[in-house]
Structure 1
Amino acid sequence: MPEAPGDPVTPLLDDAVGRMVRPYTVSEGRTKPTCHFDLMTMVVATGTTSRRNLGLDHTHVLELCRTPVTVAEIAGLTRMPATVIKVLLSDLVERGAVVTRPFDLATQAASAAPDLELLEALRDGLLKRL
C-alpha cells in the first residue's frame, strides 16, 4: 500500500513494487557525490538545519541520521542505491545538516560489548539459509 503523500518523512513506497519515484529523480540526475563517502562512513545529524528547507528524500535521510549510521545502513533502510544516498548526503553535508567520520572498527569494538541477542539472531538466520 502506498504511503500517504502528505507524510514529509516517508518516501512514496508501494509494498509490491517498491519506490514509486526513480532514483535518478531523487538525486536530480546527479551521479557523483561532492563529498567522499564509502559504504562504512558513519553519518550523524547535527541538528542545526531546518527540515522545512529540504525535500522529502533529504528529510527522510536526515531523520535516519539522528543516531550515528553508516551509508550502507541508510541505503538499505531507504531501499535506494548507495550512489543516490551519497549524493543526498553530500547535499546534507554542504548544508551543515550532517557530519561524517570514517568507521573505526577498533573503536566500535572497544566501546560496545557484543550484543548476544543480535549475534544469536544472525546465527539463526544464517542457519535457516543453509
Structure 2
Amino acid sequence: MTERWMDQDAGPIVRPYTVTRGRTRPRGDSFDLIATVSAIRPAPPDLPPEHRRVLAACRRPISVAEAASTTGLAVGVVQVLLGDLRDSGLLTVRIPAAAVAAPRESILRDVLAGLRAL
C-alpha cells in the first residue's frame, strides 16, 4: 500500500488540496510573496508533517517565496499553511513597507533649478 503513494523520483505523492484540506487561501490576511515570516515557538507534537516542514523553514526570518522554495511545496499551499501557523501563534509575519511613490516631475525640476541657482 505504501508503494502506491511513493514515486521513486518525485517522492511522496500527496495532492496539494489534501495538504490544505481543500483550502486555496489562508484564513485572514493573505501573504505577499516578499512578506517575511519567522517561527517564534517550536512545533507542537500534534502538528501535521507539512506544517512542521514549513515551520522548520521559518527558523530564521525568510520570505514566503523562499519558504515555498525551501520546502518544495507550491506557493499557494505554503501560504495556506503559513496562515494556519500564524493563527496558532507559531510564527510572525512582517509585511514589507509599501514602495515609496516617485516624486512628481515638478518637484524634481524645482530642486534642479534650486541647485543650479547655488
TM-score (norm 1): 0.63
What is the rounded CA distance, in whole Å, between the counterparts of 1:13 and 1:92 in structure 2? 27
- 2:94 maps to 101
Quote the sequence identity (%).
Answer: 40
- 2:34 maps to 40
Q: In the alignment, does 2:10 pair up with 1:55?
A: no
Equivalent residue pairs, number: 94
Runs ≥4 residues deviating over 4 A: 12-15
- 1:78 maps to 71
What is the rounded CA distance, in whole Å, between the counterparts of 1:53 and 1:97 in structure 2? 13
What is the rounded CA distance, in whole Å, between the counterparts of 1:69 and 1:41 in structure 2? 8
Greater gyration radius: 2
Paired letter, 2:87: E
5+ residue gaps, structure 2: 98-118
Q: Check conservation: 2:43, 2:52, Cα contact below 8 A.
A: no
Q: In the alignment, does 2:61 pair up with 1:68?
A: yes
What is the rounded CA distance, in whole Å, between the counterparts of 1:76 and 1:37 in structure 2? 15
Deviations 1:72-128 (A, max 9, x none): 011111221111101000000000000000236xxxxxxxxxxxxxxxxxxxxxxxx
5+ residue gaps, structure 1: 1-11, 105-130
What is the rounded CA distance, in whole Å, between the counterparts of 1:16 and 1:84 in structure 2? 21
